[in-house]
Chains A and B, each alone.
Chain A
Amino acid sequence: MKFFKFLIAGTIFGIIMAQSEAMSWYRIQEMFRFQSFHMYGIIGTAVVLGVVGVFIIKKFKVKDLNGNPIEFQPKERQWVKSILGGTLFGLGWALSGACPGPIVVNVGYGLTSMLIVLFFAILGTYTYGLLRDKLPH
């Protein structure tokens, strides 16, 4: 039962993706065409609140559920992989209209063809693992 809270958090996340329409191919197209504030509003609100919250957590050394201090893993400061990987991800995001979370939410929503996207996303991650030592980072 110790995982139950993650099931609930994930369920709420899935409902947010659906109710905000962030899982929709149409909304991603609208975003990449700069024709609506909707997606920018969603991500922007989350980031602004996130920055404030993370600052507060660090400042007041907030502890987690188990009483351990909340720590933040810095992202690796490697620029080639950030920009190249990011660009490849963006190409796929616009083409499929979904990033990893919404891919799964769409499957639950009943869009069975999204299972193809999910399968190839797993295959893409596998291919990265296979080629990792040969890629510039």
Chain B
Amino acid sequence: MKDFILDPWPWWFSGTLIAVIMFLMLFFGKTFGFSSNLRTICAMTFGRKIKFFDFDWRENTWNLTFLVGAALGGFIAYTYMHGGVSVDISTETIHDLKALGFSTPKSMQPDEVFSWENVLTLKGFFVLAAGGFLVGFGTRYAGGCTSGHAISGLSNLQLPSLVAVIGFFIGGLIMTHFLFPFIY
């Protein structure tokens, strides 16, 4: 039992707990949707003069608290659970990534993308900056991210969410299969 909790979790256990979180938020009278926080942060900081961000950010304090918890959860998992273990991806993926210059996983994330040595190169910085920008722009344009559309939206059988999730995959497949060979 202890090992089960401390080791990486199987998909069925993880998926079940995500559903539990979604229902917990509904039970608390809120909605599970993470990317709204990005909008709230804009309303708190440099966005106040723009109509889209002209609202009282305090009404979303609950979601910002959830965000702080998410970071805390990452810290707890790294420090007390399976932190630092290499991700057990399929041999096909290891093979495909090797062709792009990525070594076999040694931890949760590839150094080739996230090490500061790499991030401080022009390309390394641009990848993270462009990736973040597209995520932040796209999620608000689409009206939600993986939690708001793929989990909350699909659970409520929302057609716009299905369209957005199809979009997530169109974008992800274009990036992975057509653009990665030019970037890496």
Chain A residues lying within 8 Å of B143, measured Cβ to Cβ, are 75-76, 78, 81-82, 85
Give the contacts of B122-139 with A (CB-CB under 8 A): 125, 127-139
Question: With a CB–CB cut-off of 8 A, which chain A residues contact B16?
Answer: 45-46, 49
When chains A and B are docked, how far (Å) is the Cα of A113 from the Cα of B120? 10
Within 8 Å CB of B131, what residues of A? 92-93, 95-98, 117, 120
Contact of A23 among B21, B24, B30, B108 (CB under 8 A): B108
Cα distance, A117 to B96, chains bound together (Å): 25
> Contact: B108 with A6, CB < 8 Å?
no
Contact with B along A24-61 (1 / 0, CB 8 A): 11111111110111111111111101110110010000
Residues B34-59 near A (CB distance < 8 A):
34-35, 37-39, 41-42, 45-47, 50-53
Once the chains bind, are B168 and A79 in contact (CB under 8 Å)?
no
A41 engages B73 (CB within 8 Å) = no
Interface of B is mostly: helix
Number of interface residues of A (CB under 8 A): 112
What is the size, in residues, of chain B's interface with A at 8 Å between Cβ atoms? 126
Contact of A45 among B12, B21, B24, B159 (CB under 8 A): B12
Taking a contact as CB atoms under 8 Å apart, the answer to whether B132 and A86 are in contact is no
A19 to B6, CA, bound (A): 8
Taking CB atoms, residues of chain A closer than 8 Å to B29 are 64-66, 68, 70
Interface digits, B128-170 against A, CB 8 Å rule (1 contact, 0 not)? 1111111111111111111101111111111111011111111
Contact across chains for B142 and A86 when beta carbons are under 8 A apart: yes
CA distance A83 to B135 in the complex (A): 14
Q: Please report the C-alpha to C-alpha distance between residue A97 and residue B102 in the assembled complex, in whole angstroms.
A: 14
Question: Are A29 and B14 neighbours in the complex by a CB distance under 8 Å?
Answer: no
Given contacts A15-B81, A44-B15, A86-B163, contact A95 B69 (CB under 8 A): no
A113: chain B residues at CB < 8 Å are 114-116, 119, 128
Q: Are B74 and A17 in contact (CB under 8 A)?
A: yes
Known A15-B77, A100-B145; further 15 A-B contacts with Cβ < 8 A: A7-B69, A16-B9, A21-B87, A25-B113, A49-B19, A87-B168, A89-B139, A90-B174, A96-B132, A101-B147, A114-B128, A116-B119, A117-B132, A126-B53, A129-B50
* 14 A-B residue pairs with CB within 8 Å: A7-B65, A9-B28, A16-B18, A27-B87, A29-B176, A41-B12, A84-B141, A89-B145, A94-B180, A96-B131, A97-B131, A100-B147, A110-B78, A121-B132
